[in-house]
Structure 1
Amino acid sequence: MNPSAAFLQQALDASPQVFFVYDATAARIDFVSAAYEQLFPDFRRENATADLPRLLALLPAEDQQYARRCLGELLAGHHCDDLLLRLQPSPDAPLRWVSMRAQRSVSSEGQVLLSGTVEDVTAEQEYLRNSDKYMAKKNTTLEILSHDLAGPFNMLQQLAEFLEERTRSLQDEHVQKMLRIMRDTCRDSVNLIRDFVDGEFMESSNVDFKPSRVDLVQALREVVDMYRQGEHLVAKHFFFRSAQPLLLMEVDNNKFLQVINNLISNSIKFTREGGNITVSVEQQADQVLVSVADDGVGIPPKMLPVLFDRFTPARRPGLLGEKTTGLGMHIIETIVRLHHGRIWVESEENVGTTFYIQLPLPSGAGAK
């Protein structure tokens, strides 16, 4: 080995990342750095080729299919994003995450090579998932509080309007002025609350699109559970339905849960007290269908064709007078399109409304 090559190998061996070179033509690992044995303590680098089947067996079945699909696309010359894979050596072992980055090249002898890195990103993934979890919790809490706080303000506003009308014959300008102040303060307070929540949604929607592998069943269940805890505040009942306990999808978790939060918020606005709101998810062949359904007042037929338009003329106040910007549904549709999906709505007045979101199911992803 020449001095330059020896120095390069020493540098690679000193890195906490695993560097590798895989000869796809010969189905052989030509090089793997020393960090390989740190990441996988039960394996030895000199046996890396022979141990490949054992290494693949550390991945859950869904991740094995996902890895095979992505590496197959890469070997065929197609682009493949970085692989985020779960490792679980045994059922009782804690789940770990590894990130694999690879690129394809062809040697002067015509050999197809994959070279890249593998590193443990468990701490990073736990941080991101906790961050997404608390972001979703924050958004859900804001929606619940906005409806909870808006209710009393709307009631006081209606009371002020009623008293203003009934006391007009007294011709007491002082009383009329106080009632107008009370009415306007309540209206402005409701608008301020809604503006704040809408602002949070708009701000989140402008963040860069960053998809990652997410258990959609768990993510949606956590959102609905948050609303269940606030049922007494919004006087609605919330339900979650899924035929699968686990469903791995490539989505921007923060953005997609914002979509679900916004749809649930819309259902709350147009569902009477004691009504029901149900979030469902199911796998259908090569796609996933998510729905948010309510038994509220429904949407007039003339509004349905323009519901997703920017500044749609279909915007209308909620049952408690909640205002709308007309941008919410347009942004929701934009986020769904970023996920290569589509959204549509079915509604009948005085029966209810259901929003459907259809997402493509990546090959190798799926349910248990």
Structure 2
Amino acid sequence: MSPIEQFFIGKRLAGTTDSLERVKISLCFRFALIYLMLSCVVIPMSVLFDRQDILIFTIALSSIPIFALLSLKFNMNYSFSVLLIAIFSLLSAVGNSTFSSLSLSIIVFLWPVIVAVFISFISGNKATLIYILIYALCVTGISLLRIFDVIPMNSVDENRLNYSTGFIIFLFGGFLYYFLKIYDESRNAALIAQLESIESKDNILHIVAHDLRNTIGSSISCVELIEDKLQQGDTEKALEFLQLISKGAKDSMTIVNDILESASLVNQSQSVTFVTTSIVPVISGTIEHYRPIARQKHISINLSPQDTDTVLSVNVDMIKRIIGNLLSNAIKFSRTGGTIEITTKKSVKTFTVTIKDNGIGIPEKLKGKIFNKYTVAGRVGTSGELSTGLGMYIVKSLLDIHKASISVNSEEHVGTTFTIEFPLAG
């Protein structure tokens, strides 16, 4: 990733788990950059040909790709960038046709055809159809204005144009080659991402099926042993086997719940109810629910809340699920006798929650994958606890619904710290 790409979309790409979305964001950035570069080329040409009208128009128009880049920088919907790029292409084509000759207009009007391909990839066929219809109306309108001499047929010296037409075609040819190159790269990256997602999902589902089969098989064996122990009158041993069955059933239920919840997150953001509530009591209540689980591994959970009167607009059930998943992970990957530290802090713009453990940590090669759906970063806990590879994906998805962010700082064999930042209203 180039420094300029890192500046505009690096943070956004790092916070996006969907591989296809990452490809689309990257393509939007590159296309906006192409248009900005085109403006930078047209400006000196306008000065060279002494065309102040085109110069002023191009300088004004160059603000559009700048806004497109800034919208990507500040995490606005990339569809807004697509809209700005479409507006730029239409205005530049119409503007050049208005200020220049018909022969130059034909060259300029070829560019929106490329834009149509770009829009089709990013936003789908409906958006492309709308763009093509508007483009066709613009072409028709300009043609009628020329027929009725509203716009002169030759408003620029054709001799000058003859000298520059070859260069213009060469210039647009270069940009066309660059576009096709990045479009092909983006399309291939999208295909690879989808194939990797399918392969990863198949691998994780295979692991899940294997774990469920082992749990069910173990439960069946325990039932048979319980029958034998009861016949022998050894109720103490029978109770031990019952506890094993209970643990296996709970592990299986966790796996099933994770799979069902990850599937339901696709459209959940459209039907979420938010309430304004004190956030610290919600967090502390969730912690109390997980203390018995932590005690089984002799793990202590310490809460150090600040600004306990902080009020946020949240979905309480989702917040419980977020904190619960992070606590469950901290317990799962902490050694017996470990400690989990939870702190809350309010700043001017954010409310921060940190969950820190001194467990086994996350290997460097897995850090970038822990928030992916069906991630290969899912591992067995220190006491053999099962993992679906969905827990962190669920956390990230629920935080996205709240427009909150999460980051991780971890060192293998030392521990892990997750930091959540909720935006404050106003």
Whichever structure has more strand as a proportion of its residues is: 1
Whichever structure has more helix as a proportion of its residues is: 2
TM-score relative to the length of structure 2: 0.40
Rg larger for: 2
Higher RCO by CA contacts (8 Å cutoff, separation 6 or greater): 1
